[in-house]
Amino acid sequence: MKSSEEKRKRATLELNVGTWNVRTMRVRGKLENVKQEMRRLKLNVLGLSEVRCEGEGDFVSDEYRVIYSGSKGGQKGVAVIVDSDVGRRITKVVQHSDRLLLVRIKADPVDVVLVQVYMPTTDADDEEIETIYEQIEELVRKEKATDKVIIMGDLNAVVGEGGDGWRDRRVWLREKK
């Protein structure tokens, strides 16, 4: 009989998470390259920005689950690729837009919520940028307060000389109520 400690160790989910702006996934062999890099870097989860896929999808390729959200015309786009173990633990997917994708992963003691983001560049209107921030906040607000939330992706921030100064780039923290 296995001890509770042994069972706990076996059930423990360790996540190695990365994010990458891939510029496009609409090139032959790109998915194979991404999966090879995930294996090489021992990543369980990889968030992708600027995938340029049309529409929404969720499919399995070899030992990886690929979830994406794009737009008509194949501009922008976000995706999350997870290994088979993490793929079996996914309990929720929200393909919100071509800039936001949420994935909930069942874990113990609390679930992990990943939000993959592809922000507009600093050249975009402040209103468009603020709208994305509000959408992120709304997505996160709908999740349990006890969840561990990871907001990742291409935030398109400009720092240092040559930028137009600091913008109001927020850090999202759950307020304890």
CB 171 within 8 A of CB 133: no
Beta bridge mates, 93: 103
In a domain, 160, yes or no: no
Confidence of residue 173 (pLDDT cuts 50, 70, 90): very low
Q: Residue 175 has what pLDDT?
A: 42
Q: What is the mean pLDDT of residues 125-147?
A: 95
Q: What is the mean pLDDT of residues 46-57?
A: 96
- Three-class DSSP category at 103: strand
Residue 96, amino acid: H
Q: Residue 14 has what pLDDT?
A: 86
Place of tokens 């793929």: 87
In a domain, 139, yes or no: yes
Whether the predicted pLDDT of 171 surpasses 80: no
Confidence of residue 32 (pLDDT cuts 50, 70, 90): very high
In a domain, 162, yes or no: no
Which CATH number is 117's domain given? Answer: 3.60.10.10
Q: Residue 12 has what pLDDT?
A: 67
In a domain, 108, yes or no: yes
In a domain, 175, yes or no: no
Q: Which is it for strands 100-105 and 112-118: parallel, antiparallel or unpaired?
A: antiparallel
Residue by residue, DSSP assigns 117-140 as: EEPPPTTS-HHHHHHHHHHHHHHH
pTM: 0.84
In a domain, 96, yes or no: yes
In a domain, 165, yes or no: no
In a domain, 149, yes or no: yes
pLDDT per residue over 106-131, tens digit each?
A: 998 999 999 999 999 988 999 999 99
Domain hosting 87: range is 4-154
What's the number of domains the chain is made of?
A: 1
CA dihedral 83, 87, 88, 93 (to 10 degrees): 170
Q: What is the mean pLDDT of residues 166-171?
A: 43
DSSP 62: T
